[in-house]
Each structure stands twice: as structure tokens, then as C-alpha cells.
Structure 1
Amino acid sequence: MTLRGLSSIFADLDPGDALGEVLFGLIMALTWTVGSRLVLDEEGLDVRDLVVATIGCNVAWGIIDAVLFILGTTFYRSRRLRLFRQIRAAKDEAAALAVLAKEFPVEGSPLSAKPADAEALYRSLLALTRRAEPAKLSLTRADLRAAAAIFLLVSATALPAVIPFFLIDNANWALRASNLFLVVLLFVTGYAWAGFSGGRPFYAGITMTCLGLFLVAIAVALGG
């Protein structure tokens, strides 16, 4: 697959979703390597088993996440179609506007809209709904490319965890390097997240690192 082909795949995935998948993959890989640290201290470490298990786990969860994305997309569109039918079936305009207000609440959103502006928005949506026709519910190529991107992101995050074991002969030092590499990538993920969300990069990086390590600690403690 060419670089252009890869870029087109990732273009169909929202940056926030992409970074979320990277974070998930890193946490999965770090759970394996941190847990293996405990095994190393007690029984010794089988490097080959660790590499296979780490890659296998992330690949498996990459497949699961991709399937869940497809299911979620289908559910979302089915819900929108159901909303369309509810609006069409409303007994009057007030009931239709109430359906829209319930589905798209202004309260709690980043926007601080005035009541008149919110009503104007709902009336515009209502007018659009009345003129439109329900589209056929089906998955698009963009949906499949986004699912493929999710699979690639979650699977690829296993690579930073296993590369040190191919470069360093000492299993103990390789495991330390692997854990350090993954922790640094947690920080980088948080830093990048701030670039898309408008937050403070360094603060977001530290927060993401601490959150990731906290989740890993929970997973290890519970035997995950």
C-alpha cells in the first residue's frame, strides 16, 4: 500500500478518535509489559511469548474496535433515521420541535445560545427535515476505511513495545526500554491531543501520561 493510500485511510477518521485509538493501544501494550515485569522478577521472562502475546492482543483488539466502530456507525445512522420518522410523524410543529430539542440540546454544549437562537436552529432543522427524504441506510467506503484505520492504529501501537526486544539482548533492559518508550508515547499522544482540542500541550501530555499509567495499574491489579 502506498503512502497516499495510507493517508486516505486515516483521513476518514476523526483526529480525536484516532488519538483515542492510539491511547487505547498504548495502554493495552503497556499493560502486558508492566505485567511482564512482575513475572520477570518472580519466574524469569520468556521474551518470545511476550512479543507474541503483545502483538496478538493488540491485533485482536484492533479487530474488535474496528467491528465496534462499524456497529456504532450503523446504530448512529439508524437512530437518525428513527428521529427523521419521529419528526415526520409528529402531530404538530410544537411536538416536532420538542423532538429536535431533546435530540440536540443546547444546554451543556460549548455554545451559549439564547432561547430565540436555539428555537431558530430547531426551526431550520425542522424545515430541512420536511423537505428531505430518508437516505438508504448503508455503509460507505469511508466507513470501511475508518474501520481499517482503527485496526491499523491499535495494532501498530504494539510495535514500540516489542522493538526493544529485537535490539537489546538483555531481557531486563529491553523491558525497561519498552516501558519507557510507551510512557513517552503516552505523553506525545496527550501533547498531540491538545493541538487538536486547543488545550495546553505540556499539561495535556502530563495528564494523558498519568491517566494512562493509572489505567494500566488498574488493569494489572485486576489481572488484565
Structure 2
Amino acid sequence: MTSNPIERVTDIIDPGDALGEVLFGLIMALTLTVGSRLVFEEEGLDAQELIVATVGCNVAWGIIDAVLFVLGTTFYKSRRLRLFRQIKAAGSETAALNMLAKEFPIEEAPFSAKAADADPLYRSLLTLARRADPVRASLSKNDLLAALAVVFLVSVTSIPAVTPLFLIDSAHLALRVSNLFLIMLLFVTGYAWAKFSGGRPFYAGMTMTCLGLLLVAIAVALGG
């Protein structure tokens, strides 16, 4: 059976990361369009210029975010490789177990675990680490696909922002429709977030909408 587009994206990039990129793109587009309403009144900004600016801004930040994603992934893999080598070189079993406990604390897990269960877990990880061989920390095909997904997700959020500018002659009305559409998508993003994480969809949607609007207000107020 052919998977839907959402499943294809979440097969490449973690759903939380994907929704975070969508949220970032929506906030970027909303910040630009809300700020442009002020410019329209003062300078009469051309709608064509706004379309180019909105799409260009989101594409540029999509590329920047993808580069940061690649750097973060490289750092994570290198850090894990360093930990593996430290465990192999540890002077004692106790020291190696302490390294694992520090790197993978079960106290932060979303469940209540007994202390007696932690020791077998870390000993199993230690056995695995000692028997395994180090592998060079390099970017995989999936990592590069995930970076492309970041570019796509941030860039594509500019489409609902600029579509009204193509369909509506009045720039002021088009911007209002664009802003309303983006605000609705903030709610949809929060709703989807809860669906993936097991939260309350309507509550998450309202929270995401309010949070997004607050961030947009801060960005506009600071000249972003």
C-alpha cells in the first residue's frame, strides 16, 4: 500500500522535528506578512515584492536550518563515537557504567523505574559497547534526506502565505486573508503535534496558536 505524504516525511525525519520546522516556517512567514501590513500603509509596498520576499526568506532560512541540522547530526554522532571509545578505554567496569548512566539517565525518562532495574540495563549496554567495533561517524543517506526535508518543510510554509496575494487584487485584503490562513495553520500544527505525542489536540492547537502569535509579536516589535 502506498503511504501518504505525511507518512513519507515522518519516515525521513522525526515527527517532532518535522512539526517544529513547519512551526518555524509559519512563524517566519507570519512575521513577514504582519510586518508588511505596516509597510504597506507607510510606503505602499508592491505585492509582487512581498511574494518574492516571503518565499525567498523561507527558502533561505530553510537552507540555513538544514545546514544547522547537518551540523547537529554530525556533532551527535561524533559525541556518541567519543563516548564509545571512552567506554572501551575505561580503566574499570564501574567507570564505564558511570559514563553510561551519565549519558543515558533513566531519571529523565517518562516513566517511574526502580533503581534495581537500572544496573542490568547499563550492564547490557556495556556488554554491547565492549563487543562492538567503532564505526566512522559520517552522514548517511537518511541524514541528507532529512536535511532536504527541513528545506522543504520550511520553504513550503510560504505557499499559504503568498497564495492570497495571487488570488486577491486588494493587497490589504490579501494580507488579512494570508494572516488568517497562517494562524489557522498554527492551530493545525499544534493539533497534529498532540496527535503524534498523545496530548490533547484542541488544547495543543490553541497553545501553539497563542505561542506562535506571541513569538510573531515579539519579532515584529523588535524589527524582525
User: TM-score if structure 1 supplies the norm length?
Assistant: 0.95
Aligned pairs for 1:136-147 within 5 A: 136-147=136-147
Q: Who is 1:198 aligned against?
A: 198
Aligned length: 222
Pair 1:45–1:16, CA change in 2 (3 A): same
**How far apart are 1:5 and its partner, in Å?**
9.4
Pair 1:162–1:189, CA change in 2 (3 A): same
Provide, for residues 76-122 of structure 1, a one-character-per-residue CA deviation record: whole Å limited to 9, x for no partner. Answer: 00000000011111111111000001101111321211111111111
Contact map agreement 1:163 1:178 (CA 8 A) in 2: yes
**How far apart are 1:4 and its partner, in Å?**
8.4
Q: Which runs of 5+ in 2 are unaligned?
A: none
Aligned pairs for 1:1-224 within 5 A: 8=8, 10-224=10-224
Contact map agreement 1:45 1:171 (CA 8 A) in 2: no
- What is the distance in 2 between the residues matched to 1:191 and 1:5? 18
- What is the distance in 2 between the residues matched to 1:170 and 1:164? 10
- What is the distance in 2 between the residues matched to 1:206 and 1:95? 47
Provide, for residues 186-220 of structure 1, a one-character-per-residue CA deviation record: whole Å limited to 9, x for no partner. Answer: 00000000000000000000000000000001111
Contact map agreement 1:10 1:146 (CA 8 A) in 2: no
SS in 2 for 1:107: helix
Percent identical across equivalent pairs? 72
Q: What do you get for the CA RMSD once the two structures are aligned?
A: 1.6
Contact map agreement 1:168 1:174 (CA 8 A) in 2: yes
